[in-house]
Structure 1
Amino acid sequence: MMTRSFVGLALVGALGLGGCAGHSRTGAGTPPEREAEARLAEDAEEQAERDAFAQRAIQALRAAGETRAIHYDAEGFLLRLGDKDGSTVFLSNFFDEYLAASPRKRDEVFTRLSRVRALPEMPKTFAEARPDLLPVVRGRTFFEQLRLMVKDGAEKPVPISWRPLGTILGVGLAFDGPETLRYLGPEELSRWGVSFDQALGVALENLRQRSTEPLEQLAPGTCQSPWDDNYAASRLLLDEVVRRCEVRGAPVVLVPHRDLLLITGSEDEDGLRQVASRAMKAVMAPRAMDGRALRLTPGGWVPFMPERLSNAWADFRQLELYTRARDYAEQTRQLEKLHEERGEDVFVAAYTPYQDERERSISYAIWLKGVDSLLPRTDVIFFMDPTLGEEAPPVGIARWEAVEKVAGQLLTPVEGLYPERYRVKGFPTEEQLARWQNDPGELLDEE
């Protein structure tokens, strides 16, 4: 906490651009000390709300007949049911739904939550499971960070079978039960004697049979999915569904929510702006996924960003920054918990988006001298020397590419982490830092 406080106090003055960083409720003119105090108060208030929600969740589970021991993990924001080989109830999505619901609808959230305690029983044979298998598309972060939440270590395998999709998403397999779905892992596939590809082929055919409805047209060449069944995003795996939208250029899709598939064309600027606007609203909703776009190529889906001079570029840039900030924030919480449990003193640097009055935007991270740190990949790095005091300005400011070119040997990629992180080794030399004593405003000129 001391390191975080130092960073917050030093950078508020260092930026001095009249913009906004992160999601603080304080204004741009708030004194550094007040801003740090306000953020700490916000964190404490949010934690109290989460803890209260967890206690109500436990009460709902008990009322539904749960008799096993229930252990609340406040850091991971989850409940573990049973002392051995039990199930886990992740609370984040339910909590978001609770906050978004009207007061008279909030009890329904706990009703749905209580059903999760009893996952559908897995069939003994593949033939029995076959009719209920479906593909599940989620943000890649969901799958990647599961190893941190469930297995408490990035080096251990994830208990869900999945593969990357377009680098930013992932596709897994689910057994679709009457009340809840159950993700499939290597154990189930091995017991049934089938490969991931074989099971995925069956799951896609099942989804295809559920996907005969026409797409909803938002404008000529711009469409959205009509399905509200938790598998709308998965339809991007069905080429014939995507091709129903006659677009200008290559098909571009966004899946900001599991119940929303947006399609337009890479050469349709109005369509791109329309889907970006809808995507921004969707990523703010509970159970959101990823706000970034994919473009269909002969080799499959690849990340997509409009040309820099396009009127749609700023909207897609905002979606990218928001998504990466959210993913890194969740990863930061999990890594801090992991290192605390291991007794390791590691500074997990935050990924912070920043925008000035002219709506120019960057992301930045803090590299602290003499501190064992894990850095997220950002646009800009602020180099700070804690020995100079809390209010000292950065000793250097540079774009990531410039640092990588001159002092890349000081950044070692951490294997097994997504989004990517780098462990710092040492600190740039005085000569290197002298090159990077920039005005922060100069780094906002996006090329």
Structure 2
Amino acid sequence: MGFFDFFRARPTPDGFADLVLRQIGQRGPARACHYEAAPFRIVFDGDAQQIFNLDNAYRDYCAAPRKQRPHVLQNYLAGIDVPGLPATFAEARDSLMPVIRSRSQGDYLRLLALRQSPRPAVADAWQALDDDALILLAYDTQASMSTIGQATLAQWGVTFEQALAVAMDNLRERTPHSFVALGDGLMMGEWHDAYDSSRLLLPDLLYRACAGGEPLVMIPTRGRFLLASSHNVAGQLAMVALADQLMQDEGRHVSPAMYGVRHGRIVACQPTDGAVAAALARLQTMIRAHHYGEQKQEWDELNDSIGEDVFVATCMLFQPKESEGVVSLATWTRGVDTLLPRTDIVAMVVPDAAGGDSVTKMLAWHEALAIGGELMQEVDCYPVRYRVRDFPDPQRLAAAPPWDS
């Protein structure tokens, strides 16, 4: 297939990767890189390994009008041509910006590092926003944006907190009052500069934009900022529904949480309305299962590379009868060394010694924890998993109340 054939039809994923590789080769000095089909990414070789995940680029490329596709691809390729960072903090300060990213991104890079030999040191610089998201620093230019690591901060002679204060000042200067009303009391930020989600960190902006009540915000993807009032249930329901749709359509997940302001600080919060709380819980369960699926793939590849025989349990979803919600489930099997995700339900599986059918008992998470918590070794990863090598005592399992839908 020729180069221009890609602009006449939707390329296959492998065909798109081939196009990207050829474009990288035409952009300047050759950079050693290779394509990995299963994770759908391009890996640049070298001491500081760089990853270009192709999912978002492929989605945006295929969705764009054919005449715009080359422009879309060039925008993504510009992001991997990262120039060297300034040598001093004084040179960098005017270009520093805060960014909010999903914890899953950092965990993905950490697991990737564990697969390399020798294993590179991972020295991230971040501040926790909540259980799902992190605040990082970015060096922003017209051509590219790159996150700042701890080694760079040390070279500049500043702490993360000092650099973040400067970045926050820069963000405020770049934040005019720019919102669009979507109906039902739902507002969306319209800055379109890659830092829409970062505006969550500006409590004064939230209050100015909120028409009565306390501001509630969601930042489902990197380019989205959704706001509704705590007094407006319809706006909150619309916000959760739109966040769900954006996370499906756009990728680049940031957080499925709903945020508010408490004592001047941004915190994750629970809606007070039952219908909103149920819709939000459904979204969060589905996104967590998505992250567990990505994590399982990385753990499986890591275990294969180091020869470790451990089962990475799947986070499965099902919908109970007469319910609009979803419930997560994982299996804990006797005799199987397992990395167990934290799910609503745990299927406790006892294989038959003679090779017959297994016996399965469904337990709510808190019941599984009550009879086997001492067997669960928490693993440092996001979303959290537990290493379980043994199985609860049969009598304790028999006495535990089963999960009832």
Q: Please report the TM-score for the alignment, with normalisation by the length of structure 1.
A: 0.80
1:52-201 → structure 2 map (5 Å cutoff): 52-85=15-48, 87-101=50-64, 105-152=68-115, 158-201=122-165
1:14-413 → structure 2 map (5 Å cutoff): 50-85=13-48, 87-101=50-64, 105-152=68-115, 158-219=122-183, 222-247=186-211, 249-284=213-248, 285-298=250-263, 300-307=265-272, 310-356=274-320, 358=322, 359-387=324-352, 392=357, 394-413=359-378
What per-residue deviation string (whole Å, max 9, x for no partner) do you get for residues 9-54 of structure 1?
A: xxxxxxxxxxxxxxxxxxxxxxxxxxxxxxxxxxxxxxx9544433
Q: Which amino acid aligns with 1:244?
A: R
Structure 2 CA distance for aligned equivalents of residues 230 and 339 of structure 1: 35
Structure 2 CA distance for aligned equivalents of residues 76 and 124 of structure 1: 35
Query: Given that residues 113 and 120 in structure 2 are in contact (C-alpha distance below 8 angstroms), is that contact kept between their aligned partners in structure 1?
Result: no
Query: Given that residues 161 and 184 in structure 1 are in contact (C-alpha distance below 8 angstroms), is that contact kept between their aligned partners in structure 2?
Result: yes
Query: 5+ residue gaps in structure 1?
Result: 1-47
Query: Given that residues 89 and 116 in structure 1 are in contact (C-alpha distance below 8 angstroms), is that contact kept between their aligned partners in structure 2?
Result: no
What percentage of residue pairs aligned between the two structures are identical? 31
Query: Given that residues 197 and 222 in structure 2 are in contact (C-alpha distance below 8 angstroms), is that contact kept between their aligned partners in structure 1?
Result: yes
What per-residue deviation string (whole Å, max 9, x for no partner) do you get for residues 350-389 of structure 1?
A: 1122114522421111112211100010000012235579
How many Å apart are 1:318 and its aligned residue? Answer: 1.9
Could you tell which deviates more after superposition, 377-386 or 181-190? 377-386
* Structure 1 residue aligned with 2:5: none
How many Å apart are 1:421 and its aligned residue? Answer: 0.6
Cα 1:133–1:377, aligned 2, differ >3 Å: closer, same or farther? same
How many Å apart are 1:95 and its aligned residue? Answer: 3.1
Structure 2 CA distance for aligned equivalents of residues 355 and 156 of structure 1: 42
Q: Which amino acid aligns with 1:164?
A: A
Query: Given that residues 162 and 173 in structure 1 are in contact (C-alpha distance below 8 angstroms), is that contact kept between their aligned partners in structure 2?
Result: yes
Query: Given that residues 160 and 183 in structure 1 are in contact (C-alpha distance below 8 angstroms), is that contact kept between their aligned partners in structure 2?
Result: no
How many Å apart are 1:115 and its aligned residue? Answer: 2.2
Q: Which amino acid aligns with 1:265?
A: S
What per-residue deviation string (whole Å, max 9, x for no partner) do you get for residues 245-298 of structure 1?
A: 235543221101111111223343112101111111111113232222122211
Cα 1:101–1:314, aligned 2, differ >3 Å: closer, same or farther? farther
Query: 5+ residue gaps in structure 2?
Result: 1-10
Structure 1 CA distance for aligned equivalents of residues 395 and 211 of structure 2: 52
Alignment coverage as a number of residue pairs: 391
How many Å apart are 1:233 and its aligned residue? Answer: 0.4
* Structure 2 residue aligned with 1:25: none
How many Å apart are 1:341 and its aligned residue? Answer: 0.8
Query: Given that residues 332 and 348 in structure 2 are in contact (C-alpha distance below 8 angstroms), is that contact kept between their aligned partners in structure 1?
Result: yes
Q: Which amino acid aligns with 2:266?
A: W
Query: Given that residues 166 and 300 in structure 1 are in contact (C-alpha distance below 8 angstroms), is that contact kept between their aligned partners in structure 2?
Result: no
3-state SS of paired residue (2:82): coil
Please identify runs of 4+ aligned residues in structure 1 that moved more than 6 A: 388-391
Q: Which amino acid aligns with 1:63?
A: Q
Higher relative contact order (CA 8 A, sep 6+): 1
Q: Which amino acid aligns with 2:332?
A: W
Query: Given that residues 141 and 418 in structure 1 are in contact (C-alpha distance below 8 angstroms), is that contact kept between their aligned partners in structure 2?
Result: yes
Q: Which amino acid aligns with 2:81?
A: A
Structure 2 CA distance for aligned equivalents of residues 214 and 109 of structure 1: 25
Structure 1 CA distance for aligned equivalents of residues 355 and 150 of structure 2: 50
Structure 1 CA distance for aligned equivalents of residues 352 and 275 of structure 2: 45
Cα 1:102–1:325, aligned 2, differ >3 Å: closer, same or farther? farther
RMSD: 2.7
What per-residue deviation string (whole Å, max 9, x for no partner) do you get for residues 134-184 of structure 1?
A: 10111122223321124548x976443111102221110011122220110
Query: Given that residues 207 and 214 in structure 2 are in contact (C-alpha distance below 8 angstroms), is that contact kept between their aligned partners in structure 1?
Result: no
Cα 1:347–1:168, aligned 2, differ >3 Å: closer, same or farther? same
3-state SS of paired residue (2:76): helix
* Structure 1 residue aligned with 2:6: none
* Structure 1 residue aligned with 2:3: none
Structure 2 CA distance for aligned equivalents of residues 305 and 330 of structure 1: 26
Cα 1:392–1:248, aligned 2, differ >3 Å: closer, same or farther? farther
Cα 1:353–1:100, aligned 2, differ >3 Å: closer, same or farther? farther
3-state SS of paired residue (1:137): strand
How many Å apart are 1:217 and its aligned residue? Answer: 3.2
Structure 2 CA distance for aligned equivalents of residues 393 and 256 of structure 1: 41
Q: Please report the TM-score for the alignment, with normalisation by the length of structure 2.
A: 0.87
Structure 2 CA distance for aligned equivalents of residues 162 and 303 of structure 1: 18
How many Å apart are 1:121 and its aligned residue? Answer: 2.5
How many Å apart are 1:228 and its aligned residue? Answer: 0.8
Cα 1:266–1:392, aligned 2, differ >3 Å: closer, same or farther? farther
What per-residue deviation string (whole Å, max 9, x for no partner) do you get for residues 182-226 of structure 1?
A: 110111111111111111111111110110224333457542211
